[in-house]
Amino acid sequence: MDFNLSKFTVCKKFALTISRGTTSQTTNILIKIQQEQIEAIGEATPFSLSKENCQNTEQLIAEFDRILPIIANFHPLQRQEILTVLEKERISSPVKAAIDMALYDWLGKKTGLPLWRLWGLNRDRIVPISVTIGIDTPEKVKIRVQNWLELVAPTILKVKLGSPAGIEADRAIILAVKAVAPDCDLTVDANGGWNLKEAIAMSRWLADLNVKYLEQPLAVGKEAALAELSQQSPLPIFVDESCLTSKDIPRLAKSIAGVNLKIMKAGGLTEIMRSIQVAKACGLKVMFGCYSDSSLANTAMAHLSPLADYLDLDSHLNLTNDPFTGAILSKGHLLPNDLPGLGVRYSA
């Protein structure tokens, strides 16, 4: 296989603030794989789960430079062997995700089929996506909600809470959202911003406002308290940062209702498929999420979306300069197209 790497910076229309900080732009990495006159592509997005667990673009580039010569003699169809090497070399999940994504893109282009057809999935089973409202003042939250309503006409809003200003600020955010979008369903993601006492109190308050579920209410490392929270919360509890790959799901399963799966966190479509199977076997709901991903990574996830219960694949909709076109937004549903492979075109 021949490879080509390039960096591209994506800028957000609206900076996104969560409990851990604010992001306005991210520099992601595009990998191109060439074999048998077929070019396939994948994306690596740096992300952070905590101050201690984060990557930057240059670290990912260094990993690519180290691993690509090692896998260059493999064929794109030798995915099992390639992924074994990536695991042995302890390659980070975004780099694995980009390589795995590109290998599937190559396979689809080789067969002439979009991945959702290759996997025998049904696009009609794809649920609507949610769009995300970050932490801000009530006045700015109202403006952001109105912008989403005009751009996408969503039926589901995902509201980021865990404000450093405390749960009263969180309550003001929710009330601001409901004032502008009273007919939209709401979900809440605290990104680990609450302690157990706050999470119990907020879950009860949010349930009275018909919020659908609560995501990552407690910080990473506080998973032992999830069982007590689930017993006292009237809302289903999902985890995100506490669940990286399929290996994490069984130990959490009895304490939660669902998991948020992300291609960068999992390390590729192969691990996403494995995680879906493990989560379903454990009786859990499955949500797909994203970081500062472009249409490339979100389209990759869209191909597996018929298997998800909830979808939060909206990051590319908040970009001013997305260099890719792929999955199509239709009446609130993000649908993979009929082009072979990922069905993504690079316009830069």
Band of residue 52 on the pLDDT scale cut at 50, 70, 90: low
Structure tokens at 244: 């990286």
pTM > 0.85: yes or no:
yes
The residue among 83, 112, 141 that closes a domain is 112
C-beta of residue 330 within 8 angstroms of C-beta of residue 347? no
| Tens digits of residue pLDDT in 259-275 | 999 999 999 999 999 99
Mean pLDDT of 62-83: 97
The CATH number of whichever domain residue 85 belongs to comes to 3.30.390.10
Query: Which range, of 8-17, 97-106, 226-235, 241-250, averages the lowest pLDDT?
Result: 8-17
Counting the structural domains of the chain, the total is 2
Exposed / middle / buried, residue 152 (Cβ in 10 Å: 0-12, 13-18, 19+):
middle
pLDDT value at position 150? 93
C-beta of residue 235 within 8 angstroms of C-beta of residue 211? yes
Please tell me whether residues 144 and 50 are part of one structural domain. Answer: no
For residue 286, the cross-strand partners are 259
pLDDT value at position 348? 64
| Tens digits of residue pLDDT in 115-168 | 999 999 999 999 999 999 999 999 999 999 999 999 899 999 999 999 999 999
Band of residue 53 on the pLDDT scale cut at 50, 70, 90: low
pLDDT value at position 81? 97
DSSP string, 140-170: HHHHHHHHHHHHT--SEEEEE---TT-HHHH
| Cα 264 to Cα 293: distance, rounded to the nearest angstrom | 9
Band of residue 50 on the pLDDT scale cut at 50, 70, 90: low
Q: Which residues span the domain enclosing 131?
A: 117-346
For residue 43, the cross-strand partners are 30
Please tell me whether residues 66 and 133 are part of one structural domain. Answer: no
Please tell me whether residues 159 and 280 are part of one structural domain. Answer: yes
Please tell me whether residues 123 and 209 are part of one structural domain. Answer: yes
| Cα 69 to Cα 101: distance, rounded to the nearest angstrom | 18
Please tell me whether residues 223 and 209 are part of one structural domain. Answer: yes
Please tell me whether residues 270 and 248 are part of one structural domain. Answer: yes
The residue among 112, 130, 157 that closes a domain is 112
Please tell me whether residues 284 and 200 are part of one structural domain. Answer: yes
Please tell me whether residues 158 and 297 are part of one structural domain. Answer: yes
The residue among 63, 92, 112 that closes a domain is 112
The CATH number of whichever domain residue 139 belongs to comes to 3.20.20.120
Please tell me whether residues 121 and 106 are part of one structural domain. Answer: no
Tokens 């490339």 found at: 296
| Tens digits of residue pLDDT in 80-115 | 999 999 999 999 999 999 999 999 999 999 999 999
Residue 139 has phi, psi (to 5 degrees) of -65, -45
pLDDT cut 90: percent of the chain above it: 93
pLDDT value at position 23? 86
Please tell me whether residues 37 and 125 are part of one structural domain. Answer: no
Please tell me whether residues 175 and 38 are part of one structural domain. Answer: no
Please tell me whether residues 122 and 72 are part of one structural domain. Answer: no
Does residue 49 register a pLDDT over 90?
Answer: no
